Amino acid sequence: MARKAAPENVMIDHGEGKNRIRKIIGSNMDIDFSNEAFGNSQCPWNAAEGTNIHKCAVKNTSICKYFCGVQYLDSVLCSYPAENLTVLKPDEIDRDL
Protein backbone atom coordinates (compact mmCIF):
# COMPACT_ATOMS: atom_id res chain seq x y z
CA MET A 1 0.00 0.00 0.00
CA ALA A 2 1.30 3.44 -0.91
CA ARG A 3 2.13 5.73 1.98
CA LYS A 4 0.06 8.86 2.34
CA ALA A 5 2.20 11.91 1.89
CA ALA A 6 2.28 14.22 4.86
CA PRO A 7 0.02 17.11 3.89
CA GLU A 8 1.55 20.55 4.18
CA ASN A 9 -0.78 23.39 5.04
CA VAL A 10 -3.82 21.66 3.58
CA MET A 11 -6.81 23.95 3.25
CA ILE A 12 -9.99 22.40 4.66
CA ASP A 13 -12.87 22.48 2.19
CA HIS A 14 -16.06 23.78 3.79
CA GLY A 15 -17.88 23.84 0.50
CA GLU A 16 -18.99 26.90 -1.46
CA GLY A 17 -15.39 28.03 -1.85
CA LYS A 18 -14.95 28.66 1.86
CA ASN A 19 -11.49 27.21 2.31
CA ARG A 20 -10.37 29.45 5.14
CA ILE A 21 -8.75 27.05 7.56
CA ARG A 22 -5.34 25.44 7.19
CA LYS A 23 -4.57 22.05 8.69
CA ILE A 24 -0.96 22.46 9.73
CA ILE A 25 0.72 19.19 10.58
CA GLY A 26 3.23 18.32 13.23
CA SER A 27 2.13 20.51 16.09
CA ASN A 28 4.06 19.94 19.25
CA MET A 29 1.60 20.06 22.09
CA ASP A 30 1.32 19.70 25.83
CA ILE A 31 -2.25 18.74 26.69
CA ASP A 32 -3.50 17.41 29.99
CA PHE A 33 -6.44 17.61 32.34
CA SER A 34 -4.44 18.09 35.50
CA ASN A 35 -5.87 21.47 36.47
CA GLU A 36 -9.40 20.86 37.68
CA ALA A 37 -9.39 24.29 39.29
CA PHE A 38 -9.28 25.70 35.75
CA GLY A 39 -12.64 24.05 35.12
CA ASN A 40 -11.48 21.39 32.71
CA SER A 41 -12.96 17.93 32.42
CA GLN A 42 -11.32 14.92 33.98
CA CYS A 43 -9.33 12.36 32.00
CA PRO A 44 -11.36 9.12 32.09
CA TRP A 45 -8.17 7.02 32.30
CA ASN A 46 -6.93 8.97 35.31
CA ALA A 47 -10.41 8.74 36.86
CA ALA A 48 -10.54 4.97 36.38
CA GLU A 49 -7.12 4.54 37.99
CA GLY A 50 -7.49 7.21 40.66
CA THR A 51 -4.36 8.96 39.47
CA ASN A 52 -3.26 12.11 37.67
CA ILE A 53 -0.34 10.78 35.65
CA HIS A 54 -1.84 10.35 32.18
CA LYS A 55 -1.52 13.20 29.70
CA CYS A 56 -3.00 13.52 26.20
CA ALA A 57 0.18 14.91 24.68
CA VAL A 58 3.58 15.67 26.15
CA LYS A 59 5.66 18.05 24.06
CA ASN A 60 8.58 16.35 22.27
CA THR A 61 7.74 13.09 24.03
CA SER A 62 4.45 11.28 23.47
CA ILE A 63 0.79 11.19 22.49
CA CYS A 64 -1.67 9.11 24.52
CA LYS A 65 -2.89 5.89 22.90
CA TYR A 66 -6.47 7.13 23.39
CA PHE A 67 -5.90 10.62 21.92
CA CYS A 68 -7.96 11.21 18.76
CA GLY A 69 -7.29 14.88 18.17
CA VAL A 70 -8.59 18.29 19.16
CA GLN A 71 -11.76 20.12 18.25
CA TYR A 72 -12.33 23.86 18.63
CA LEU A 73 -12.40 25.41 21.13
CA ASP A 74 -10.23 23.19 23.25
CA SER A 75 -11.92 19.80 23.44
CA VAL A 76 -9.84 16.64 23.31
CA LEU A 77 -11.37 13.76 21.38
CA CYS A 78 -10.64 10.73 23.56
CA SER A 79 -11.41 7.10 22.78
CA TYR A 80 -10.68 5.64 26.23
CA PRO A 81 -10.89 2.68 26.86
CA ALA A 82 -10.52 1.70 23.20
CA GLU A 83 -7.14 2.58 21.69
CA ASN A 84 -7.35 5.33 19.09
CA LEU A 85 -6.15 3.23 16.15
CA THR A 86 -8.95 0.73 16.79
CA VAL A 87 -11.56 3.48 16.64
CA LEU A 88 -10.36 6.06 14.11
CA LYS A 89 -11.24 5.48 10.46
CA PRO A 90 -8.46 5.73 7.86
CA ASP A 91 -9.79 9.06 6.57
CA GLU A 92 -9.56 10.50 10.10
CA ILE A 93 -5.78 10.00 10.19
CA ASP A 94 -3.78 12.53 8.18
CA ARG A 95 -0.77 10.33 7.31
CA ASP A 96 0.78 6.94 7.71
CA LEU A 97 2.10 6.33 11.17
Q: Tell me which residues touch ligand SF4 (CB under 6 A).
A: 33, 43-45, 54-56, 64, 66-67, 76, 78, 80
Q: Provide the minimum distance between the beta carbon of 10 and ligand SF4 in the complex, in angstroms, as a whole number.
A: 24
Q: Provide the minimum distance between the beta carbon of 58 and ligand SF4 in the complex, in angstroms, as a whole number.
A: 10
Q: How many CB atoms lie within 10 A of CB 82?
A: 13
Q: Provide the minimum distance between the beta carbon of 4 and ligand SF4 in the complex, in angstroms, as a whole number.
A: 23
List all residues 6 or more positions away from 35 whose beta carbon is below 8 Å from its beta carbon.
none
Measured between alpha carbons, how far is 57 from 55 in angstroms, rounded to an integer? 6
CB nearer to ligand SF4: pick between 10 and 34: 34
List the end-to-end C-alpha distance of the chain, in Å, as a whole number: 13
List all residues 6 or more positions away from 3 whose beta carbon is below 8 Å from its beta carbon.
95, 96
CB nearer to ligand SF4: pick between 19 and 42: 42
